[in-house]
Structure 1
Amino acid sequence: MRILVTGTAGFVGAALAQRLLARGEEVYGFDNHNDYYDPALKEARLAQFAGHPNYIHQRADLADAAAVDHAFATFKPQRVVNLAAQAGVRYSLQNPRAYVQSNLVGFVNILEACRHGNVEHLVYASSSSVYGANRKLPFAVEDAVDHPVSLYAASKKANELMAHTYSHLYGLPTTGLRFFTVYGPWGRPDMAPILFADRISRGEPIDVFNHGHHSRDFTYVDDIVEGVIRALDHPAEPDPAYDAEAPNPGTSNAPYRVYNIGNDQPVQLMRFIELLEQNFGRTVEKRLLPMQPGDVPDTWADVSALRRDVGYAPGTPIEQGVKKFAAWYRQYYGQR
């Protein structure tokens, strides 16, 4: 199968591309290699599979409609996974326009290309951040998500709305996956696991926001990739049980689905830090600080819909995942 994946120099995109290539798919990678974080890490991820005979790579920006159209016209993908986006909740407070270009303009370019290219199925990354100010746990796709607390979250909710219009108007099967705190080898250096690992490996104090009372549904990258592939292999279909008088936000009478993809086992942030300390063999000072703007205290994914529909079953305990992450960190960054 010909599968176009955007964001293949990114954390999840690189892991997904390798899994798809390993099972014999042809993969067309699309990534702009921006400098939001160290481009050398992106190049190192890509180097793991860039020479594969079934892999093609294009360096371009999703906001460049001509570049997107070129990729679709030359490769003619059967299915598409859109993982490229301007990520980061906190950065959206500093540079909001970057989110409009990548997450809104870029996404409509993908939708248009899928529409005109007769793509069988579009799977795209949404985010747990769409739950915003919600406090009912666990977060379920049936919940209303109308109170985002960052522009990043709003842009991801907008993606779900945009996808539904294309599913409704043009019959394009779309599946949105709300990712919950992905971690593991080759992770993003702007996220807590690497920020904490950097500090702990050097014996330096770490900043812990919300006075350490955060919990997160940390999900190991291999489990995320398995879920993405399972979703990709099950194109969205209209829900025969959909009731327009009592609508379910996760389904539709169009070929549209939205799912949570997480571990369904929230972990206290202090426990995650403790596991990192154990794996690095040292304990560091924790500077307890107030919660930051745009952040939320807790996340917890109800993944029952994804379990039911595609057999998703995350299987990496936090202890095992942190151990693998710490081993990779020491190897890649040369820290001992």
Structure 2
Amino acid sequence: MGVFVTGSSGFIGLAVCEALLARGESVVGYDLASPPPFAEAIFAGLPGRFEWIAGDARHEDALTEALAASGADRLLILAAVTADAQRERTAPRSVIDVNVGAVASAMTAAAAAGIRRIVYLGSGSAYGASGRDAAPLDEATTPLRPEGLYGISKQAGEAVALRLAEVCGLDLVVGRLGTCFGPWEYATSARDTPSPPFQVLRHAARGEEVVLPRAHPRDWFYGRDAAAAILALMDAPRLPRAVYNLSAGFIWSLTDFCRALAPRRPDVRWRLAEPSEGGNVDLYMAYDRAPMSNGRLCADTGFAPHYDLPAALDDYLAWLDAAGGHWLTRETAP
């Protein structure tokens, strides 16, 4: 009995593993990259048991063998490549191999191992151009209109997972994850798009002025809440739906973030860009996406977010102090 997590050394993978270990679960992490040393130290002090297996989620035979040997009865499919435009141009196959092919491998492995519950972590990017409208993005009614290869591949991965669950008789639930920030976010070879809040804090840690292209209001989802939402899907005995939005349910802007950060870090310098400037925080899109509705998630699982902006900032800054300033300023985590 336990939980098998693909993509366990990524941002959300680490957050989920920490949450599982904190409640005493046995966790097997499956990732090509080892957990950062700071994560290993934190995990060792938690009541659960953690084992990392070096493995490529794209390799079906190895994944099937590892999952069967683990004795896990639950599977979280978190492995993904979060691609920017540069990777789309130069290595599109690598994105599809992980975001679609590795999903098929994981579902096949789950069928062979008799896994009781599978959670596939999709993405709000699957909504794509529908986010240009003002209406909240809804699982049941909003069309999926992905714009970039990441969103396209995550929509495809979701469709593959749902189809294989149907034909193999597997208990699968999909969580479309909103835009996250918080503890454990760091630069990896599979993550090209660090969150704007992370970028703000990284500029500040380097002593650089933060120049925001625009205020950019969004339903930013704190990583600890995101992990709790994923576990809520994993834990629910029966769910009436196959797909759920995982989101905060409230909105604040990057200007709100910087204003809240200023009294906590008085040396931070920030401003909005002038019309002729582009800013030094990448927002990845020219519009402010509509929020993702989380009403069905809350109603069906009892999930409720615990971190508004002040609570998230207090927790995140304390975590960064414990992790060390180099967590933000290095290209990869120590």
Q: Place the TM-score, normalised by the shorter chain, in its bin.
A: 0.7 to 0.9
Contact conserved, 2:32 with 2:55, CA < 8 A, in 1? yes
Contact conserved, 2:211 with 2:270, CA < 8 A, in 1? no
**What secondary structure sits across from 1:279 in the alignment?**
coil
Shift of the alpha carbon at 1:45?
2.2
Deviation per CA, 1:48-70, whole angstroms, max 9, x where unpaired?
22687732211111112222112
Deviation per CA, 1:225-263, whole angstroms, max 9, x where unpaired?
2111111012555x5xxxxxxxxxxx4xxxxx1111111
* 1:175 is the counterpart of 2:173: yes
1:195 is matched with: 199
For 2:147 and 2:19, locate their aligned partners in 1 and report how far apart those are by CA, in whole Å. 34
Kindly report which structure 2 residues correspond to 1:181-220, keeping only aligned pairs within 5 A, or say none.
Answer: 181-189=179-187, 190-209=194-213, 212-220=214-222
For 1:331 and 1:54, locate their aligned partners in 2 and report how far apart those are by CA, in whole Å. 22
Kindly report which structure 2 residues correspond to 1:57-72, keeping only aligned pairs within 5 A, or say none.
Answer: 57-72=52-67
Opposite residue 81 of structure 2, the aligned amino acid is: Q
1:289 is matched with: 278
For 1:301 and 1:204, locate their aligned partners in 2 and report how far apart those are by CA, in whole Å. 32
Contact conserved, 1:149 with 1:294, CA < 8 A, in 2? no
* 1:273 is the counterpart of 2:255: no
For 1:296 and 1:88, locate their aligned partners in 2 and report how far apart those are by CA, in whole Å. 19
Shift of the alpha carbon at 1:300?
1.2
Opposite residue 283 of structure 1, the aligned amino acid is: R
Kindly report which structure 2 residues correspond to 1:120-131, keeping only aligned pairs within 5 A, or say none.
Answer: 120-131=116-127
For 2:238 and 2:4, locate their aligned partners in 1 and report how far apart those are by CA, in whole Å. 18
Opposite residue 276 of structure 1, the aligned amino acid is: L
Deviation per CA, 1:157-176, whole angstroms, max 9, x where unpaired?
11221122122212211111
For 2:253 and 2:283, locate their aligned partners in 1 and report how far apart those are by CA, in whole Å. 17
**What secondary structure sits across from 2:100 in the alignment?**
helix
* 1:106 is the counterpart of 2:91: no
2:31 is matched with: 31
For 2:156 and 2:269, locate their aligned partners in 1 and report how far apart those are by CA, in whole Å. 42
Opposite residue 324 of structure 1, the aligned amino acid is: D
Shift of the alpha carbon at 1:304?
0.7
CA shift in 2, pair 1:331/1:286, >3 Å? farther
Kindly report which structure 2 residues correspond to 1:293-304, keeping only aligned pairs within 5 A, or say none.
Answer: 296-304=287-295
Kindly report which structure 2 residues correspond to 1:46-195, keeping only aligned pairs within 5 A, or say none.
Answer: 46-49=40-43, 54-90=49-85, 92-94=87-89, 95-134=91-130, 135-189=133-187, 190-195=194-199
For 1:230 and 1:292, locate their aligned partners in 2 and report how far apart those are by CA, in whole Å. 29
CA shift in 2, pair 1:90/1:50, >3 Å? farther
The two structures have a TM-score, normalised by structure 1, of: 0.83
1:232 is matched with: 234
1:328 is matched with: 319
1:11 is matched with: 11
Deviation per CA, 1:140-193, whole angstroms, max 9, x where unpaired?
111343321111011111122112212221221111111112222222342222
For 1:265 and 1:161, locate their aligned partners in 2 and report how far apart those are by CA, in whole Å. 28
Shift of the alpha carbon at 1:133?
0.5
CA shift in 2, pair 1:2/1:332, >3 Å? closer
Opposite residue 141 of structure 1, the aligned amino acid is: E
1:36 is matched with: none
The two structures have a TM-score, normalised by structure 2, of: 0.84
**What secondary structure sits across from 1:56 in the alignment?**
strand
1:44 is matched with: 38
**What secondary structure sits across from 1:301 in the alignment?**
coil
Opposite residue 36 of structure 2, the aligned amino acid is: K
For 1:106 and 1:182, locate their aligned partners in 2 and report how far apart those are by CA, in whole Å. 22
- Counting aligned pairs with the same residue, the percent is 26
For structure 2, list consecutive stretches of 5 or more residues without a partner in the other structure.
188-193, 327-334
Shift of the alpha carbon at 1:10?
1.8
For structure 1, list consecutive stretches of 5 or more residues without a partner in the other structure.
34-38, 240-250, 252-256
Contact conserved, 2:209 with 2:269, CA < 8 A, in 1? no
For 1:293 and 1:271, locate their aligned partners in 2 and report how far apart those are by CA, in whole Å. 19
**What secondary structure sits across from 2:5 in the alignment?**
strand
Shift of the alpha carbon at 1:88?
4.2
CA shift in 2, pair 1:32/1:152, >3 Å? same
Shift of the alpha carbon at 1:298?
2.0
**What secondary structure sits across from 1:48 in the alignment?**
helix
